Amino acid sequence: MPNCLTLKKSNCKNCYKCIRHCPVKSIRFSGNQAHIIGNECILCGHCFVVCPQNAKEIVDETEKAKVLIQSGAPVVVSLAPSFVANYEGVGIEAMREALKKLGFFDVEETALGATLVKREYDRILREEDRDIVISSCCHSVNLLIQKYFPRELEYLADVLSPMQAHCKDIKRRIPDAKTVFIGPCVAKKDEAEYYEGIVDAVLTFEELTNWLNREGVALRQEKQPDAHSLARFFPTTGGILKTMAQDAQGYTYLALDGVENCIAALRDIEQGRIHHCFIEMSACAGSCAGGPVMEKYGRSPVKDYLAVARYAGDKDFEIGQPETRELRKRFEPIEQRAGMPTEAEIRDILREMGKFKPSQELNCGSCGYDTCREKAVAIYQGKAEISMCLPYLMEKAENVNDTIARNSPNGIIMLNDQLEVQQINPAALKILNLRSDSAVLGDQVVRILDPTPFLKVKNTGRGIFHERSYLAEYGCTVQQTIVPAEGGRMLLCIMRDVSEEEDARRQREEISRQTAEVADKVVDKQMRIVQEIASLLGETAAETKIALSKLKESIANE
């Protein structure tokens, strides 16, 4: 992963929006999490902008800048010219005033470096015999060519970016100076880190705003025009061209913005369709003024362009031009490690995705890839998972649900919020003595069942569970569960035929009743016997008592 981008894993919710918007598909999904592939990423920042969960974070270098200030060295800010679009109504003087309160030694416009760069472009076109020259101001475009179009590196202008040219000039003019670039770009953090010794720290406009707010520093509304500021046009589409002389014989000058357009042009160059051109390339639509870390997050391309255009002058900044060798920059190809599968391997993966013929390759893009074949390649490279295919998952889920419904011993009926039958399985058809589902689909449930419990669940939102009901018209007893589904838009009824259980229960009750009657009769009979025995015993006892009394009297008389 690029050092300047981090990922909050807990916030990544498997939405695939970042891969859909990544122009080079440099994002890998594993364990339901997105991971940026460092050696493939061009740091365009699209994933940061579109992430709905804010799972992508840019590494904050505010503390790094503070350490530079605390070191005692003069720390000079190179301020990207797009600041006038980000901070409405604020000019360079007001920015200098505010940033000095934070401890910076001075603030200059990066447009000074842009002036040096555009002059070098003009010189190359006039003096060097080059077929095609591509501007090298945008680090994301440079990475795109280094990683994906290495054969076109010969056409990339071997010139420092305006940020580098300006910071190098600052260090030449101010002994022991440290430089901090502030702008709307993620890639500049990587550029500063890779080319050591030129730019010491990079802040985004958002980082600067947060710092100003913490220190309670307000930006004064003030802008003073300056005729010698033509290079302030640089952060707009075609802004480089606006500042150039465009007087090289036989060259066509054109500007492209957006990675997709740049890729299309590079493919044309690769195929030999373009010659004798100077091409200004910007990864962001609207160029730097449409950068990923423009603090407002809401694109206002016309308004932002006008803010820049109204602040720009019609003459060059008055700055001395260094020697050509001082502006030179060398680009090396950056190797890609991902291998490519064979056609047979692609077909095998497509079959695993449930794509057995071309007509099944929907190319819907829900996974983030434009075609199913691109997705298959990504799976082979370990960047994607088969489960990322929405049609595949839906078909799989439907098949599983259908298999469960068809083979369930319980009757299943699905109703919509109008209590119309939407689905009924074979077990329910058998319970309700229906020949086929077509006989009832789309009809009101009242046609086959009492709608009262369904209305109760619909109105209360509370389910009814395991309620027994005798269906007289079908001659059976069912145990019925009715619950709301899909947020109340559907009702699910599960019926279990418990007729045999009911018959068995009634038989048990009858046996119990008969047993109780027999027991009562036995008890009654026993009571009668006891009573008879008691009666006989009573008579015998009386006779015995009389006999003994007479015997006692007889003995007494003697």
Among residues 258, 337, 300, which one has the least CA distance to residue 21? 258
pLDDT, tens digit, 9 for 90 and up, residues 39-49: 899 999 888 88
- pLDDT exceeds cutoff 50 at 165: yes
Among residues 277, 324, 48, 302, which one has the least CA distance to residue 155? 277
Token pair 């500007």 is found at 255
Token pair 């060798």 is found at 325
Higher pLDDT, 379 or 279: 279
pLDDT, tens digit, 9 for 90 and up, residues 518-529: 877 887 888 888
CA gap 159, 499 in Å, rounded: 87
What pLDDT sits at residue 338? 72
CA gap 160, 172 in Å, rounded: 15
pLDDT, tens digit, 9 for 90 and up, residues 4-31: 777 776 667 678 888 888 999 988 887 6
What pLDDT sits at residue 156? 98
Among residues 215, 4, 233, 270, which one has the least CA distance to residue 114? 233
Give the torsion sign (CA, 270, 274, 277, 279): negative
CA gap 273, 152 in Å, rounded: 13
Q: Kindly report the CATH class assigned to 408-497.
A: alpha beta
Return the minimum-mean-pLDDT range out of 134-148, 265-279, 432-446: 432-446
CA gap 436, 430 in Å, rounded: 9
Higher pLDDT, 228 or 225: 228
- Percent of the chain predicted with pLDDT > 70: 93
The per-residue b/e assignment along 357-393, b for 16 or more CB within 10 angstroms, e otherwise, is: eeeebeeebbbbbeebbbbbbbbbbebbbeebbebbe
- pLDDT exceeds cutoff 50 at 204: yes
Return the minimum-mean-pLDDT range out of 114-128, 232-246, 303-317, 392-406: 392-406
Neighbouring residues of 333: CB distance < 8 A, sequence distance ≥ 6:
146, 147, 150, 153
Angle at 22 between CA 20 and CA 27, to 5 degrees: 95
pLDDT, tens digit, 9 for 90 and up, residues 506-522: 788 888 788 878 877 88
Query: Percent helix, strand, coil in the chain (nearest 5)?
Result: 45, 15, 35
Q: Average the pLDDT over 262-281 and give the result.
A: 97
- pLDDT class of 109 with cuts at 50, 70, 90: very high
What pLDDT sits at residue 517? 81
What pLDDT sits at residue 366? 72
What pLDDT sits at residue 96? 97
The H or E element spanning position 194 is helix 187-194
CA gap 425, 431 in Å, rounded: 10
- pLDDT class of 227 with cuts at 50, 70, 90: very high
- pLDDT exceeds cutoff 70 at 439: yes
Q: At 517, is the secondary structure helix, strand, or coil?
A: helix
- pLDDT exceeds cutoff 50 at 499: yes
Pure H helices in 325-389: 343-352, 372-380
- pLDDT class of 300 with cuts at 50, 70, 90: confident
Q: At 471, is the secondary structure helix, strand, or coil?
A: strand
Cα–Cα separations (whole angstroms), residue 431 to 28, 491, 504: 51, 19, 19
- pLDDT exceeds cutoff 50 at 355: yes
Q: Could you tell me how many helices (H) and strands (E) the chain has, helices first?
A: 19, 16
Given this chain, do its domains 1-59 and 408-497 carry the same CATH topology? Answer: no
What pLDDT sits at residue 1? 40
Token pair 């802008």 is found at 223
- pLDDT class of 84 with cuts at 50, 70, 90: very high
Contact 75, 103 (CB under 8 A): yes
- pLDDT exceeds cutoff 90 at 71: yes
Q: Kindly report the CATH class assigned to 339-407.
A: mainly alpha
Contact 352, 380 (CB under 8 A): no
- pLDDT class of 3 with cuts at 50, 70, 90: low
- pLDDT exceeds cutoff 80 at 429: yes
What pLDDT sits at residue 299? 66
Assigned token pair, 539: 């008579």
What ranges make up the beta strands (E) of 399-547?
411-416, 421-424, 464-471, 476-485, 490-497
What's the CATH fold of domain 1-59? Answer: Alpha-Beta Plaits (3.30.70)
Contact 391, 369 (CB under 8 A): no
Cα–Cα separations (whole angstroms), residue 102 to 93, 95, 200: 15, 11, 17
In the chain, where the domains are located? 1-59, 60-327, 339-407, 408-497
- pLDDT exceeds cutoff 50 at 223: yes
Contact 198, 179 (CB under 8 A): yes
CA gap 23, 266 in Å, rounded: 14
- pLDDT class of 62 with cuts at 50, 70, 90: very high
Mean pLDDT of all residues in the chain? 88
What pLDDT sits at residue 541? 67
pLDDT, tens digit, 9 for 90 and up, residues 287-297: 999 988 886 55
What pLDDT sits at residue 38? 84
